[in-house]
Amino acid sequence: MRNLLSAAIAASLAAVSPVLLPAPAMARLAVAATVTATAEREGDKITLGWAGLTGPVQVYALPTADAAQREGRLIGTASTGDRLVVTAAANPRPYFLLRDARGLDVRVAERLLPLEGGSNFRDLGGYRGAGGRPVRWGQLYRSAVMAALTAADFVTLSKLGIRTVCDFRANGERSRDVVNWPAGAAPNILTRDYELDLRPMMAVFAGGATVTPEQARGAMAGFYRELPFQFAGQYKEMFAELLAGRAPLAFNCSAGKDRTGMAAVLILLALGVDRDVAMADFLLSNQYYRPAAPRPDAKPDPTMAMFARLPPGVAQAFMGVDRAYIDAALAEIDKRGGLDRYFTDALGLGPAERKRLQGLYLQR
C-alpha cells in the first residue's frame, strides 16, 4: 500500500508544470516535485523513508509542523540509502524535515496517529496540491468514531490544538457511541440530526438470497453514488469551517471510511491534489481501519452484528473500501454537471473559495 501511495503521489507531482516560471526555477520545481516521504511507527522507533532525495540526507526534528529548519534539531544523517530509523516518542507529536545536499527538502509526519483508543485517525498532510505545494501537516484530520478515546488521547488531541470536529454520524450512532470529551476541553462539535437509511444498500439481501462479493460491491457503489449529494449539507458546513480558518479540524463518521472517506477526497480535490492520490488516501482505510470490539456497556449495533455473520468476501466489501466506490461517486458528480459545478452549487466553493482554501492549507 505504501508503494501504491508513493507511486500515485509521484505521478501527480510529475504532472505539475509551472509554465510561468523561468527555466531554472522550473527545473528546481520539477526535481522537488518528485520528492516523497513516509513515516511509519513501531513502538518508539519511526522509519523515515523517502524517494527523490540524494544522499547525504539530513533529518531534522521540528517543534511544529510549519517550523523553519533553523528551529529544528538535527537528529540523524543518512549518507546512502532511502531510509533512516529514528527514536521519537508519540507525544508531543513529532514532525520531521528531510533535506539533501542539493537543498531539496520534504516535511513528513506519521499518517496514522498512534492513539490508544483511536481508530483510523489520520492526517491528510503531505500530499502535493495546487502549484506543487504540499498539504500542511497537523491541520486536517480524518477519523472513525472517537468514543473509545482514552484520557491520554484527549490530552494528545488537546496538544494538537483541534478546534473543530465535524461528526457525520446519525442520531442513533451518536447515542449508541457517545464521545465523552473532557469538561472544558471539548472543541466545537458540529452534528446534524438525521437517521441513516441503509435500506437501499441492504436491498441486496432481500428474500434471503445468497449475496456474492460482486453484488456487495455493487450495493456499496450504489450507496456512494448518492453520498456526495445526500451529505452535501454536512460537507458544506465542514468547508465553511475550513474557509473561516477554524482549524485544526477533524471529521469522522463511525468507521471513518465512507462518509468520512468521501469528505477527505473532496477536501484533497479542492486543494488541487491529483485524483489518483486522493484515491490512494481513500484506500488506506483497508490498511488502517479495524472494527473495534464493542464495549461491555455499549448498546447493540444490529448492522455490525449482521456484517459479522457474513462470508469474509462479502463482509470485506461492506467493511472495506474499493476504488469502484469513489469512482461511482465521482462519475455521478460528473453526470450531474461536473466537479466544478458540484463544488460551487452544492458546497459553496467557487474559484475564489478554493483559492482561499489552498492559501490556508497548502504549504507556502
Active site residues: 253
Rounded to whole angstroms, the Cα distance separating 90 from 321 reads 28
Distance between CA atoms of 360 and 138, rounded to whole angstroms?
12
Side-chain half-sphere exposure of 82, counting CA atoms within 13 A: 9
Q: Say what angle helices 275-283 and 259-270 make with each other, to 10 degrees.
A: 150
| Cα gap 356→260, rounded to integer Å | 22
Q: What is the number of helices (H) and of strands (E) in the chain? A: 16, 12
Q: How many CB atoms lie within 10 A of CB 7?
A: 15
Helix (H, G, I), strand (E, B) or coil at 161: coil
Beta bridge partners of 250: 141, 165
Whether residue 273 contacts residue 133, with contact meaning beta carbons closer than 8 Å, is answered with: no
> By C-alpha distance, which of 32, 277, 300 is closest to 176?
300
> What cell does 131 get?
502549484
Q: Spell 328-347 as b/e; 16+ CB within 10 A means b.
A: bbbebbeeeeeeeebbbebb
Distance CA 214, CA 236 (A): 32
